[in-house]
Amino acid sequence: QIQLVQSGPELKKPGESVKISCKASGYTFTDYAMHWVKQAPGKGLKWMGWINTYTGKPTYADDFKGRFVFSLEASASTANLQISNLKNEDTATYFCARETGSSDWFAYWGQGTLVTVSS
């Protein structure tokens, strides 16, 4: 069965960096793009962008250009999200979500990774 398993919660200080992983299984990793979604505590969902898992090319929503980097370890069927120079407002749960192949509704989600930024 298709699974997306994310890395565990992180506690970081402002200015530090964090890397979140999303390991896929149950399908051919390079056949489907991976998207990232942010959810601040008690808030709604915000689409961050996506990465083409075949070419490695990332596309970022405007609010996530600069400090956010999507990357791949294709041999390990893993997508990564790295956030640098962390700010308090980066405190959130980050989800990876897989596209369906025909369009970008998300039938498969990771369990989410909580990143807490606090001094």
Partner 1 sequence: DIQMTQSPASLSASLGETVTIECRASEDIYNGLAWYQQKPGKSPQLLIYNANSLHTGVPSRFSGSGSGTQYSLKINSLQSEDVASYFCQQYYDYPYTFGAGTKLELK
Shortest distance, position 3 Cβ to partner 1, whole Å: 12
Using rule CB under 8 A, residue 27 touches partner 1: no
In terms of CB distance, is 90 or 99 closer to partner 1? 99
Element (H, E) at 4: strand 3-6
Using rule CB under 8 A, residue 95 touches partner 1: yes
Spell out the SS3 assignment of 85-114.
Answer: CCCHHHCEEEEEEECCCCCCCCCEECCCEE
Using rule CB under 8 A, residue 36 touches partner 1: no
* Residue recorded with tokens 């609010």: 63
Using rule CB under 8 A, residue 62 touches partner 1: yes
* CB distance 24 to 3 below 8 Å: yes
- Identified binder of partner 1 from the candidate list 7, 59, 82, 91, rule CB under 8 A: 59
* Residue recorded with tokens 């970081």: 12
Using rule CB under 8 A, residue 103 touches partner 1: yes
